[in-house]
């Protein structure tokens, strides 16, 4: 270290405090990285690796990025899981004596992002802190970009509840204590399912006394006043999270003003398997939003509304009173088209107040973002006025929660120019007329020439020197020039500075003062603009609570309006939600599939489930006939009802369910070495352990990953276990190909058989998509294979094998054919094959078609024609 240059000594002092971070070290207009940081960054960011003399024989590896465009580079590093420490110059280099002072002003991690260009508008970015103690578990999750903070606590046996809660938040970063390493269920979930970065914190970070002190200091309230009375684990986990945020962020944490204590019993259980299988926020195949329930319901106009909608989907309610209050708000907007349209139009001009306020408090907001706040504020009075006549309780609350922010609007409008530059350092941010001193300085800069002309004219009049001139050079600055013929008129207040062949040059005290003002005006303008901008920022930041309350109200209104718009556009009905044990859906439809059918008719179906004679529905029928769609649509309709949305049905009576559990599809878990059957049985075991009599189970093809008799035995045992009121007793939709299970209807009073109606003509099969009582008489496997495009030879051979098996005969081997005859290369018009449409038309017997069959066939023919 002694041989290092002073600058590199300073760098190593910083790096010693941040060994696990890539240090962006500010040097002039660049952030530079050195040694190992430079090697890593040059590879990850595709930067040129250079070197710098550092006082030693070998040059230090170095690479850098411009400070004004560093965000894009930082975003790439964060996305790859790195943490970046920003080491900034904290004093003016012109005023520094010796080495410019530098300090780390912030550590940027995946869970502490606030930059809009690094975040998705429609998704919260959570950092989670997990604590495992002797009495149980605690979880704290914060989104510092919006100021949200949630805390939960779980009993000793609450590992699954903790896992479910982590799945709801899907954090991008997790910190935890050493005790959690022993909990394989939780650590395995974090590693295999969440895919986020996770760091172990020292146990002393979770000390109760230190946590209590930090919470009290941050919120100016004791934990008991914040709703954490008797929740010591919650105090410890919250204190550890706050300590980590203070360590990494340095400033801006006053943005977090409240704690939301979340009791998991308030919300429907939706584990990660159910969310994946039901494709609530992303599809299973592509991970995209399109094709999900979120895609259907999201007609929101603001980023705040989009994030709240996701939160609603992650946390369906269990309290019918709260659900019906939401439904009342949605119904009022649904019924009043003019109100809904006006609200939607006004919401379109609202910017992301939550994240905007975070950047204002951090001091990172640009002048343009201040103007965005002002534009939003101008829309609020009209929005509040439009809601003033609403009757539903939640819309009245929203109306009350919206502050017009007229004073904020006036402040920004008077201070910030209408079209400000992107960066404060570019200047011309503060409006003319806002500050007298700034106006004077700008007048000097913009009118220097005229000011000098006026002074020159005044001096000519005072002295009588007709050819007096004011000039400028770099040595003397501004001067007064007088020819020798007028020297006798020069006043005594003039100070001689230079003698030339035919003239003398003078200065005056007034001219030197003016020169000082003119030459320093540009720099003073920037300093003063910064100061005035900071004053405006501080005034707005002081109104955080008002603006945050308004943002929360607007987000709720946006979601209610979105639900109403979707209901109106898609012909949804208001569900009746109560504490009964019944689920009665008349002509229900799958909300996603319906929209993806491009206008083709969707066959609606009824669902009746209860905890007595219709507890378990065993559904049989061929693949592709619609069993999975039917079961998923039932689950989605229940979920939609419990978030307060209208549902795709003619009518729906929903007794709240405490959880939706699914076992759908088959897949190997290659990462953990588990087979399809092992994954299936693990998921079945989980849902049987967690489900209650108030749950809804969706089970598709249980037992098909093993031999036929083993699979059928397991499937039957599972049904019998669920049917037992003392074991599970949950409402269940059970799809199967094991037709033998349909005999359970005669043996268990709670079981009912249903099947997907199909019509078979010869080798052709038509799926009617209608759920009807009774078991299916055939699996139609060969016919489905034909629809899928399996070659005709295989279809014919399969029929032969099936006939022999059904007769109890041994399957004959395939007969070898003789040498095939040569085919003429000459094409005859008589042998040209008919088109698919012609062939399909020939096979249709119009006299036997029902109206729904005719519609389906017509749609299929039209589709063939297009192809």
- Decide: helix, strand or coil at residue 665: coil
In angstroms, the CA 409 to CA 404 distance is 9
- Decide: helix, strand or coil at residue 654: strand
Q: Is 61 annotated as a binding residue?
A: no
- Kind plus residue range of the DSSP H or E element containing 343: helix 337-347
In contact, 411 and 404? CB cutoff 8 Å? no
- Sign of the CA dihedral 429, 433, 437, 442? positive
In angstroms, the CA 217 to CA 254 distance is 11
In contact, 470 and 512? CB cutoff 8 Å? no
Helix, strand, coil distribution of the chain in percent, nearest 5: 50, 20, 35
- Decide: helix, strand or coil at residue 810: coil
Q: Is 622 annotated as a binding residue?
A: yes
In angstroms, the CA 675 to CA 353 distance is 48
Closest CA to 592 of 309, 278, 291: 291
In angstroms, the CA 331 to CA 325 distance is 10
Q: Please report the DSSP string for 736-790 in residue order.
A: -S-GGGGGHHHH-TTEEEEEEEEEEETTEEEEEEEEEES--S---HHHHHHHTT-
Eight-state DSSP code of residue 670: G
Sequence-ordered list of residues with C-beta below 8 angstroms from that of 340, at least 6 positions apart, any chain: 333, 334, 561, 564, 565, 568
Facing residues of 470 across strands? Answer: 480
C-alpha count within 13 angstroms, C-beta hemisphere, residue 69 = 3
Q: Is 555 annotated as a binding residue?
A: no
Q: Is 364 annotated as a binding residue?
A: no
Sequence-ordered list of residues with C-beta below 8 angstroms from that of 838, at least 6 positions apart, any chain: none
C-alpha count within 13 angstroms, C-beta hemisphere, residue 676 = 12
In angstroms, the CA 107 to CA 126 distance is 16
Q: Is 443 annotated as a binding residue?
A: no
Q: Please report the DSSP string for 144-155 in residue order.
A: TTTTEEEEEEE-
- Strands 127-133 and 102-108 come out as unpaired
Phi, psi dihedral angles at 25 (to 5 degrees): -100, 115
- Decide: helix, strand or coil at residue 492: coil
Phi, psi dihedral angles at 83 (to 5 degrees): -115, 140
Q: Is 306 annotated as a binding residue?
A: no
In contact, 587 and 723? CB cutoff 8 Å? no
Q: Is 290 annotated as a binding residue?
A: no
In contact, 524 and 532? CB cutoff 8 Å? no
In angstroms, the CA 625 to CA 270 distance is 27
In contact, 866 and 598? CB cutoff 8 Å? no
Q: How many CB atoms lie within 10 A of CB 720?
A: 15
Q: Is 621 annotated as a binding residue?
A: yes
- Decide: helix, strand or coil at residue 856: helix
Phi, psi dihedral angles at 45 (to 5 degrees): -105, 0
Q: How many CB atoms lie within 10 A of CB 688?
A: 17
C-alpha count within 13 angstroms, C-beta hemisphere, residue 163 = 20
Eight-state DSSP code of residue 116: G
Phi, psi dihedral angles at 474 (to 5 degrees): -70, -25
Q: What is the dihedral of CA 699, 700, 702, 706, to 10 degrees?
A: -160
In angstroms, the CA 348 to CA 377 distance is 13
In contact, 300 and 625? CB cutoff 8 Å? no
- Strands 576-578 and 583-588 come out as unpaired
Q: Which residues are annotated as a binding site for ATP?
A: 621-628
- Binding site: residue ranges? 621-628
């Amino acid at each position: 270290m002694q041989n290092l240059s002073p600058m590199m000594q300073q760098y190593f002092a910083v790096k010693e405090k941040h060994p696990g971070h890539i240090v962006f070290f500010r040097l002039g207009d660049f952030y530079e990285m050195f040694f190992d940081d430079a090697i890593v960054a040059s590879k990850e960011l595709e930067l040129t690796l250079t070197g710098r003399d550092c006082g030693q024989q070998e040059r230090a590896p170095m690479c850098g990025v411009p400070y004004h465009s560093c965000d894009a580079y930082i975003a790439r590093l964060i996305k790859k899981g790195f943490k970046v420490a920003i080491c900034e110059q904290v004093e003016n280099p012109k005023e520094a004596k010796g080495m410019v002072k530098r300090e780390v002003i912030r550590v940027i991690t995946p869970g502490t992002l606030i930059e809009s260009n690094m975040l998705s508008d429609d998704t919260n970015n959570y950092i989670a802190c997990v604590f495992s103690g002797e009495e149980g578990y605690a979880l704290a999750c914060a989104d510092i970009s919006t100021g949200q903070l949630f805390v939960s606590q779980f009993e000793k046996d609450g590992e699954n509840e903790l896992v479910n809660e982590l799945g709801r938040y899907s954090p991008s970063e997790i910190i935890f204590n050493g005790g959690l390493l022993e909990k394989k269920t939780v650590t395995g979930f974090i590693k295999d399912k969440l895919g986020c970065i996770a760091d172990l914190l020292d146990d002393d970070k979770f000390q109760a006394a230190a946590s209590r002190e930090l919470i009290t200091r941050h919120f100016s309230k004791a934990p008991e006043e914040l709703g954490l009375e008797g929740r010591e684990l919650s105090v410890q986990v919250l204190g550890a999270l706050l300590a980590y945020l203070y360590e990494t962020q340095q400033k801006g944490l006053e943005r977090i003003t409240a704690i939301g204590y979340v009791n998991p019993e308030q919300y429907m259980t939706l584990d990660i398997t159910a969310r994946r299988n039901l494709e609530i926020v992303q599809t299973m195949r592509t991970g995209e939003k399109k094709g999900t329930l979120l895609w259907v319901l999201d007609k929101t106009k603001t980023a705040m509304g989009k994030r709240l909608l996701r939160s609603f989907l992650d946390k369906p309610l269990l309290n019918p009173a709260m659900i019906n209050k939401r439904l009342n708000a949605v119904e009022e907007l649904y019924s009043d088209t003019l109100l809904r349209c006006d609200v939607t139009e006004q919401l379109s001009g609202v910017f992301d107040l939550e994240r905007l306020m975070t950047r204002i408090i951090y001091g990172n907001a640009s002048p343009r973002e201040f103007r965005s706040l002002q534009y939003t504020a101008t829309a609020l009075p009209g929005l509040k006025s439009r809601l003033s006549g609403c009757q539903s309780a939640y819309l009245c609350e929203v109306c009350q929660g919206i502050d017009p922010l007229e004073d904020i609007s006036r402040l920004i409008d008077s201070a910030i120019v209408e079209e400000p530059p992107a960066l404060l350092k570019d200047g011309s941010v503060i409006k003319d007329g806002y500050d007298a001193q700034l106006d004077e300085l700008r007048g000097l800069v913009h009118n220097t020439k005229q000011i000098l002309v006026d002074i020159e004219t005044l001096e000519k009049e005072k002295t009588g020197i007709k050819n007096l001139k004011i000039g400028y050079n770099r040595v003397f600055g501004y001067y007064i020039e007088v020819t020798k013929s007028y020297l006798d008129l020069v006043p005594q207040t003039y100070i001689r500075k230079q003698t030339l062949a035919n003239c003398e040059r003078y200065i005056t005290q007034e001219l030197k003062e003016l020169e000082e003002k003119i030459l320093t005006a540009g720099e003073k303008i920037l300093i003063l603009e910064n100061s005035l901008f900071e004053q405006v920022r501080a005034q707005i930041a002081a109104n955080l609570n008002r603006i945050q309350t308004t943002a929360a109200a607007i987000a709720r209104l946006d979601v209610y309006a979105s639900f109403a718009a979707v209901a109106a556009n898609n012909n949804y009905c208001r569900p009746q939600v109560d504490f009964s044990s019944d689920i009665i859906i008349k002509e229900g439809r799958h909300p996603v599939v319906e929209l993806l059918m491009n206008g083709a008719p969707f066959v609606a179906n009824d669902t009746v489930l209860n905890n007595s004679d219709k507890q378990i529905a065993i559904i049989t029928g061929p693949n592709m006939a619609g069993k999975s769609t039917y079961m998923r649509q039932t689950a989605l309709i229940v979920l939609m009802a419990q978030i307060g949305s209208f549902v795709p049905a003619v009518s729906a009576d929903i007794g709240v369910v405490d959880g939706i559990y699914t076992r759908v599809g088959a897949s190997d878990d290659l990462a953990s070495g588990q087979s399809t059957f092992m994954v299936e049985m693990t998921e079945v075991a989980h849902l049987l352990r967690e489900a209650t009599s108030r749950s809804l189970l969706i089970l598709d093809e249980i037992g098909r990953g093993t031999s036929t008799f083993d699979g059928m035995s397991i499937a039957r045992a599972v049904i019998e276990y669920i049917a037992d009121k003392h074991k599970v007793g949950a409402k269940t939709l059970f799809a199967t190909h094991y037709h033998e299970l349909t005999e359970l209807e005669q043996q268990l009073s709670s079981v009912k058989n249903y099947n997907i109606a199909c019509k078979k003509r010869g080798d052709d099969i038509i799926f009617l998509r209608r759920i009807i009582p009774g078991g299916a008489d055939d699996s139609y496997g060969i016919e489905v294979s034909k629809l899928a495009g399996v070659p005709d030879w295989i279809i014919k051979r399969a029929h032969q094998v099936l006939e022999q098996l059904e007769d109890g005969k041994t399957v004959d081997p395939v007969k070898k054919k003789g040498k095939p005859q040569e085919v003429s290369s000459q094409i005859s018009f008589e042998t040209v094959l008919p088109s698919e449409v012609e062939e399909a038309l020939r096979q249709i017997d119009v006299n036997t078609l029902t109206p729904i069959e005719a519609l389906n066939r017509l749609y299929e023919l039209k589709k063939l024609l297009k192809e």
